[in-house]
Structure 1
Amino acid sequence: MADPNTAVQTFFSMMEDQGGVVVKDPPKFDLEAYISNYQGRTRFDRLLLIGKCSKVLCVDALKAAVSEALSGKDVQRYREAWDCIRVAGPNEPEAVFDEAWVKGTVQSNAAETHRLEAELRGYKNNLIKESIRMGNEDLGRHLEATGDLSGAVEAYSRMRPDISTAKHIIDVGKHLVDLAVQRREWGHVIANAAKISGFPNPDDDKVVQPYLRTMQGIGLLGQGKYREAAYSFLMIEGAATAQATQNDFVTPNDVAVYGGLLALATMNRKELKIRVLEKSNFRAFLELEPHIRRAITQFVSGRYSACLEILESYRADYLLDIHLQKHIPTLYSQIRSKCIVQYLVPFSCVTLETMNKAFAPPGQSIEQELVAMIKSGALQARIDTIDKLVTTPKAQPKAAMQASALQTANNFEKEALDRIRRMSILSADLEVKGPRKGHSAWERSSGATESWYAPDQAEMD
């Protein structure tokens, strides 16, 4: 019997060799309570990610992923989960490959696909548009459940010629958006969400709009457009509605985390206060994640080290999030840079010792980080390595005002010269007039006009 600790170490050595993210610290969430907030195919995706990345939750997450796969129809997902658990937990019952389930599921999927395709052919022969639409939708749902996402996209796309109401258009768009999220095609997520945003549906508008803004936010986040994604998440209204309609992919807690982190990384203190803390609709989401609200409040209040400390304590949780994981290093770096810059604003000179106490880990120095920020242009400052001081250039409002006045005068002079030149050209009758619009070159050269090719009255009679 293999040693469980050795097996886990071997598994994560493989993950590191493949360039995967390895999270050594334990997250703050309980795995069972965390995954119970989600439904649909995202449950497996999140469990598998946690199993591949978290040393603490690895075996438990992979076992839950195997169980989740066995409760569905996607054979490939079961193979992925089993391939991980057989290395990380070879002594677990889930490490035994269930060949009977695989064969039975493959046969069942093929039979169901054949049945749905036969029904769809019958609907097409009878030319019943509503039945054809529903037949394509049923086939798309089945193919999505079995993991054939490309086939599901084709099936849902074939629904379009047979739709007759705005609700049907929205349903097709939502299917395509969901598939695009699963396939990580962020451009298609935004494009399909935009297509259905122009179709008002008064009956479900309070449900559709939160869904669209959430999906657009996820798509923009996937593309690295952090500020646009922040605005999209901040515009979501109705935490209760979001809970009921969006947990196939995200929960209201996720909306609070995504919106709060993106806003911290891209907005200044004034914007954070107005658009995040004082915005009534987003306050309802922040109540679900109080630590995000505290971090934003600390930043707005100028307590930057406290803000960073809160975020660092939740780094492990965010590295195990399926949508945040690859963006966390960039977002945390941007937030940290903003904190350092804002910390230096009131001072003209700060000792490195003070900076180290505020931002550096115990026993380390922030000097090299400051050098990198200065070189990149993120920080306007100078470092005195002898006296260990960080000095920032003094603001010179008088010089800035004079420069602005000179630039205005130069612009006025240029505009005046252009106007005088134009007036001189007109007075000397040197203006080159273009041909009249609506005539071809042949008509202009021959003197022909529209009347030349006008039909004769006799011909019209």
Structure 2
Amino acid sequence: MAKDAADTPFFQKRKSEGHIVVRDPPKFDLESYISNYDGFTRADRLRHIGSHSTYLAVDAYRTAIAEAKRGKNVKLYCDLVEELAQIAPEDPAALTDTTWATEKTKKVEAEKDKLEHELKSYKNNMIKESIRMGNEDMGHFYYAAGEYSNAHKAYMRMREHCTSPKHLADMTLRLLLVSIAQKSWLTVQSHIAKLDSTQVKGDEKAKLEPIISACAGLAHMGAANYREAATAFINTSPAFLTAEPVAGITWQREVITGNDIAVYGGLCALASMDRSQLKDRVLDNNDFRNFLELEPHIRRAINLFCASKYSACLEVLENYRTDYLLDVYFSKDLSNIYGLIRRKSIVQYFIPFSCVTLDEMAAKFQTAGGDYATIEDELEAMINSGTLDARIDLVDRLLISPPTNPRYTVHADALAMAQSYDHTLRLRLTRLNMMAAGFEVRQDKGGPKEGGLKDNSFGEGISAGLRGIGSKMGFS
């Protein structure tokens, strides 16, 4: 099935447009994988898998179409059927159920008219709580129908009618959910900042903190800020795994699961942190350990990197490349993150050596294709970019560390140390001479607040002190 799907016009077109097309089967089972998700992300992930994997395309689209028929988003259903028809036109699910689409459209329009009429009557009655709830219902409706822009506007209209910090927090959480569905990461960061500054306290505040950390990590990763993303993910409380719904949203199922946090946090940390930071902030982090237990291969990869077993670490990650290419949030960043981890591994491996043969480097770091055909090309690119401080000897096929002058280094360090001691000694001698001259400056608590002098005694003291220092140091 994978070969047939790869040759269809749908995947040929996507490949020509520069989209990722995955031919290999992933390690996960589609049914088990997708059972961890609910809400918009379930259909979104199924569509992403179907449009990227030639192996799972038909199964993913079938499941996505069945999921769409349970909701209100008629446009999504029609788009999914159209895409499946380009992959498997003979499949029964590839035929549009026009009867269902027509009836569902009528029901959706009737529900919309009803909600708009109710909201209008609430506005006429001028009851703030009813208006707030009416806008909230409109937001829920638009969100379920896939009209995220209208949902965002409806939730925003709730702001002037919110009468408590909890109302504001719930409204911001809904705006945050819609922004994530739109993958508008700058807007997500803006709503996270507002959510963090809400006036809710106690248990309500404690419920928000894991959500803020997880969503902030997602936003930073979407903006390619991998270090900030890693920090946010590894600081997410394990309470997130069993948290109750907040603002009517089960965040660990409708947005990001604990497995996702382990994968995103672990790989972003590998790409942006050194070995000591990985050990202290990731492996020895008792809270993040709860997430790493869900994805043991991520923990194994980090352990291998910290143990300087770089080729084994990269091999573990390569085994799961297909899975991560099918992740709706991670696929576009995977090449960058894997590249950062690989380059960092090469640099760390080369540090202890003065020279290494290119054949040994090729054996340790097998090229995974992509931008570089051979290890020489990859090393050359790293040297030109300043990532790797080395030289390539193509005659003897060696990677050579540039020569250093240890004597010059020792002399420079000794000179710097002598200058530091000289500076420190002069400061101490000056202090001793000032004390011997009876010159001492103390803060006058009752003096002027803006640094003014109460009288001329302070200036006279400075003059006397300086004269004393001059005479003791042999100056007239």
TM-score by length of 2: 0.82
| Aligned residue in 2 for 1:89 | 88
Amino acid in structure 2 at the alignment position of 1:82? V
| Aligned residue in 2 for 1:225 | 225
SS in 2 for 1:350: strand
| Aligned residue in 2 for 1:332 | 338
1:394 positional shift: 5.0
Q: More deviation in 199-208 or 331-340? A: 199-208
Amino acid in structure 2 at the alignment position of 1:299? F
| Aligned residue in 2 for 1:285 | 291
| Aligned residue in 1 for 2:468 | none
SS in 2 for 1:390: strand
| Aligned residue in 2 for 1:113 | 112
SS in 1 for 2:328: coil
| Aligned residue in 1 for 2:242 | 241
Distance in 2 (CA, whole Å) between partners of 1:397 and 1:218 is 46
Query: Unaligned 5+ residue runs, structure 2?
Result: 245-249, 427-476
Q: More deviation in 391-400 or 63-72? A: 391-400
In the TM superposition, what are the counterparts of 1:16-95 in structure 2 within 5 Å? 16-95=15-94
Note closer, same or farther for the CA distance 1:83–1:350 as it changes in structure 2 (3 Å cut): same
Amino acid in structure 2 at the alignment position of 1:9? D
1:80 positional shift: 1.6
| Aligned residue in 2 for 1:156 | 155
In the TM superposition, what are the counterparts of 1:362-377 in structure 2 within 5 Å? 365-377=374-386
Note closer, same or farther for the CA distance 1:400–1:190 as it changes in structure 2 (3 Å cut): farther
Amino acid in structure 2 at the alignment position of 1:290? P
Distance in 1 (CA, whole Å) between partners of 2:338 and 2:368 is 19
SS in 2 for 1:246: helix
Note closer, same or farther for the CA distance 1:344–1:100 as it changes in structure 2 (3 Å cut): same
Distance in 2 (CA, whole Å) between partners of 1:152 and 1:408 is 68
Amino acid in structure 1 at the alignment position of 2:7? Q
1:384 positional shift: 1.0
- Determine whether 1:348 maps to 2:349: no
| Aligned residue in 2 for 1:180 | 179
Whether contact under 8 Å (2:5, 2:55) holds in the other structure is no
Amino acid in structure 1 at the alignment position of 2:293? E
In the TM superposition, what are the counterparts of 1:62-461 in structure 2 within 5 Å? 62-199=61-198, 200-238=200-238, 239-241=240-242, 245-361=251-367, 365-393=374-402, 399-400=408-409
Amino acid in structure 2 at the alignment position of 1:335? I
1:35 positional shift: 0.5
Amino acid in structure 2 at the alignment position of 1:64? T
Note closer, same or farther for the CA distance 1:407–1:177 as it changes in structure 2 (3 Å cut): farther
Whether contact under 8 Å (1:298, 1:306) holds in the other structure is yes
Distance in 2 (CA, whole Å) between partners of 1:342 and 1:118 is 66
Whether contact under 8 Å (2:2, 2:23) holds in the other structure is no
Whether contact under 8 Å (2:221, 2:229) holds in the other structure is yes
Distance in 2 (CA, whole Å) between partners of 1:4 and 1:96 is 21
Which whole-Å deviations, capped at 9, do the CAs of 1:234-292 have from their partners, x for residues lacking one? 11011523695322111000000000000000000000000000011001100000000
Amino acid in structure 2 at the alignment position of 1:274? D
Note closer, same or farther for the CA distance 1:206–1:408 as it changes in structure 2 (3 Å cut): farther
Distance in 2 (CA, whole Å) between partners of 1:233 and 1:162 is 34
Note closer, same or farther for the CA distance 1:393–1:67 as it changes in structure 2 (3 Å cut): same
Amino acid in structure 2 at the alignment position of 1:216? A
Which whole-Å deviations, capped at 9, do the CAs of 1:29-74 have from their partners, x for residues lacking one? 0000100101101111100010010111011001111111111111
SS in 1 for 2:32: helix
Amino acid in structure 1 at the alignment position of 2:251? T
Note closer, same or farther for the CA distance 1:132–1:402 as it changes in structure 2 (3 Å cut): farther
Whether contact under 8 Å (2:3, 2:54) holds in the other structure is no
Whether contact under 8 Å (1:373, 1:379) holds in the other structure is yes
Q: Percent identity?
A: 45
Whether contact under 8 Å (1:8, 1:87) holds in the other structure is no
Amino acid in structure 2 at the alignment position of 1:91? E
Whether contact under 8 Å (1:167, 1:201) holds in the other structure is no
Distance in 1 (CA, whole Å) between partners of 2:284 and 2:243 is 20
Distance in 2 (CA, whole Å) between partners of 1:226 and 1:362 is 22
Distance in 2 (CA, whole Å) between partners of 1:248 and 1:378 is 40
Whether contact under 8 Å (2:241, 2:252) holds in the other structure is no
Note closer, same or farther for the CA distance 1:55–1:156 as it changes in structure 2 (3 Å cut): same
Distance in 1 (CA, whole Å) between partners of 2:179 and 2:46 is 20
Which whole-Å deviations, capped at 9, do the CAs of 1:340-396 have from their partners, x for residues lacking one? 000001111111121111112599841111111101111000111111111113566
Note closer, same or farther for the CA distance 1:347–1:168 as it changes in structure 2 (3 Å cut): same
Q: More deviation in 304-313 or 345-354? A: 345-354
Distance in 1 (CA, whole Å) between partners of 2:100 and 2:62 is 16
Distance in 1 (CA, whole Å) between partners of 2:383 and 2:128 is 65
Note closer, same or farther for the CA distance 1:300–1:395 as it changes in structure 2 (3 Å cut): farther
Distance in 2 (CA, whole Å) between partners of 1:152 and 1:295 is 41
Amino acid in structure 1 at the alignment position of 2:158? M
Distance in 2 (CA, whole Å) between partners of 1:93 and 1:309 is 41
SS in 2 for 1:204: helix
Note closer, same or farther for the CA distance 1:105–1:304 as it changes in structure 2 (3 Å cut): same
Q: More deviation in 120-129 or 253-262? A: 120-129
SS in 1 for 2:399: strand
Note closer, same or farther for the CA distance 1:225–1:396 as it changes in structure 2 (3 Å cut): farther
Whether contact under 8 Å (2:2, 2:55) holds in the other structure is no
1:208 positional shift: 1.2
Amino acid in structure 1 at the alignment position of 2:43? F
1:407 positional shift: 11
SS in 1 for 2:7: helix
